[in-house]
Structure 1
Amino acid sequence: MHYVHESGTMLGASRRVVGFIPRRLLSVRQVHGDGDAEELLRFHKSRGQHILVNPRILDTIVRKSAIKPTDTILEIGPGTGNLTLRLLEAAHKVVAFEIDHRMVQVLEKRVLQRGFINKLRVIERDAMKAPFPRFDLVVANIPYQISSPLMIKLVYGPTPFRSATLLLQKEFARRLMANPGDSGSNRLSVNVKLLADVELVMDVSKRDFLPSPKVDSSVVIIRPKPQVPNVDLREWRAFTMVCFNNRNKTLGASFKNKRRVLELLKISNEYNESSPHEGDDAQDEGEFTSFKEKIIGVLRTGEFEDKRPSKLSFEELLHLLSLFNQSGIYFGHREQLKREDKFDADDE
C-alpha cells in the first residue's frame, strides 16, 4: 500500500516501515509529509482521528467554502493540521477545537513553521461542551461520533454564521440530505432543514485518509436560511422527537402508546400550569382517557392518524404541531430538554 502526502507524491519507500508499525501508529511524516520521521503518533478510533491527506480534496473543501480574507473560521478536530494550514492561507483567523494535546503540539509546530501562528487560536476543550466564539464559517473534518449533536449545536445555536463545510460519513450525509416526504426522511434531516439548506459537494474515498476509516465520506455545505417558519423551536424539536421515535409506524399507532400519552399529559399539564389529580385513581384514569381521546381527535381532524412521519412535508408537520398546541397538547418541558442535542441512530 502506498500513501500520499500533501504534495501529492507517493510514499512508497515507507511501505516496509509501515509493515512493522501497528495500524493506528503512524509517523508524522507519513501523515502529512513533514516533521521528524521517527516522531510517531497513535491515532485513536474512539476519537474519530482519521487525517485527510488527499491534496485535491483538501483544496476543493477550501475552494467550495468561499472564504473571504476577513473571515474567522471555526474548525473542529483539526488533528495534525492538513486542512488548517490551507484555511490559514485563505482566512483572517482560524479558531480550532482540539482535545488531544499531542495533536495540538504537532499542529502548532507546523503552523509556526509556516508563519501563521498569530492567525491560529487553539481551544483544548470538547467542542460539544464549550461555547463557540464568534465565527463566520465552519470548515472541518469532524469526528464522526459528534456529527449529530454538532449539527444541532450549529444550526440551533446563538451564533450566526454564513455556512458550514463539513466532512461526514457518507451514509450520515445521505440521511442529512433526505427531504421531508421522502422515504428516507428522518428526525435529523427535518430538524436541520427547517433552518438550513444542505448541499452535497462530493464523495471522498476512505483511502484518502490516514489511518483509513472503514467507510467512505462526503463533503456537504450547510447554509442557514434567511427566513425560517415562525415556530417555537424548542417545541418543534420535542415534537419531532415524538413523531420520529419510530418513523415507520403510523402517527396513530405512535400516539396511542400509553407511556407516550402519560408523558404528554404530564408535559401539557405542566405547560398549562395545572396538575393531574392525585390520590383518586378514577379521576386519574378519566383524565388519561380524555387526554388520549383529545390526541386521537387532533390526528383525525387533520387526517394524520394513518400517516407516517417520514411521509409528511414541512407544511404538514408544522400544521400538525399547531393543531396539537391549539388543543392544549404540548411536547417540550419548560426547562431545557435533557436530550435536545442527542440523536439516536434510529432517529437519524
Structure 2
Amino acid sequence: MTATPIASRIPAAQRLVERTRTAFRSNPSVLPTLAAVVITIAMIVYGEIAYGRILQYNTLSNLLINNAHVIILAVGMTFVILTGGIDLSVGAVIAVSSVAGVMLANAGWNPWLAVLVMILIGTATGAVSGVLIQYFDVQPFIATLAMMFLGRGLASILSTEPQRLADDSPMRALGAPITIIDGPKVNDLVVTGGVVIAVALVLAALFVLHRTRLGRTVYAIGGSEASAKLMGLPVHRTKLTVYLVSGTLAGVAAVVYTARLGIGQNITGIGWELDAIAATVIGGTLLTGGAGFVLGSVVGAIVLGLMNVLITRDGTIKPETVTIITGGILLVFVLLQRAVTRRKDE
C-alpha cells in the first residue's frame, strides 16, 4: 500500500495561505497595493449596500471620465517617486497649460497646435526640474516647488479670468462621450477620448517600467542610487527622463481636463499634485523609491474618486471632509509602507 504524500493531506485553503504568506515574504512591497485593492472593494460594497446603484455602467463611466486626468498625473508621479523623488509642479503645469491652450485656440491657432503647445509646456517644466535636480544638485522638493510657484505666476500673468473654449472647437472632441455599451435607460458604459488616452498611457507605462532598460534603471535608482551607478546604469539620464515624463504627462492631463470642461483658469489644479502623490502612495509605491506598480497608482486614483462618489451620494457629508479622509488614508498607507521597509531591511 502506497503512503499518501503529506502535501496532499493539507487542505487546499491552507496551501493557498502558505503560498500567499511566502509571496509576501519574498516581496513585501506588494502589501500596500493589496490593501488599496481591498479598500476599493470595501468601498464598492459599502456604497452598494448604503446607497445602491454603485455597481452599474454609468457610475463606472463617470468615475473614469472625471478622474482620467488624475490617473494620468499618477502615472507620471509613479515614475518620479520610484526613483525616490517628488514632483510638486504638476498642478501648476495644468493651470498654465490650460490657460495658454485655450487662449491660443481662441486666438485662431490650429487647435491641435495649441494642444501640442500645452504638452510642451509640461515637457519644458519637467526638463527644468530635472536639470536643477540632476546637474545643480537641488533637492527635488525645492526644485519642483520653485517650478510650482513659477507655473502659478505665469498662469496668473496670462489671465486671472476664466478662459472658455469655444463649443465648436475640435479640442472638445477629446471630451465627447463615446458609448461602449448601450444599457437600459441611462445606464450606459461611456468613455471619452481622455479616458482612452489615460488607458493607453497606463499600458505604455507598464511596458516601459517592466520591459525596458529604462524601467529597470528607474527601480534600481530607487533601490540604491549609488549601487545603480556602480553597475554602470545611466543614472543621470534616467533621473532627467522621469521628470520629463512627469511634466509631459501633466501637460497631457491639462489637455484632457480642458477638453472635458472647456475652460482654463489660473486656479485650476490647486492641490492636484497632492492628489497624484496620494494616489501613488495609496497604490503601493514606496516614498523611499524602488518599489511600486503603475496599476497600483491607478487603483489609488480610483479610491480617491470613489470617496467623492460616496460623499456625493450621502449628501450629508461636507465636501471638505474628502481632504480629511484622504489625509487619514494616506497616513495609514505611509505607516504601512514604513512597516514594509523595516521588514525588507531585516
Same-fold status (TM-score > 0.5): no
Tell me which protein shows more strand as a share of its residues: 1
Q: Which TM-score applies when normalising by structure 2?
A: 0.22
Relative contact order (C-alpha < 8 Å, sep 6+): which is higher? 2
Is the radius of gyration larger for structure 1 or structure 2? Answer: 1
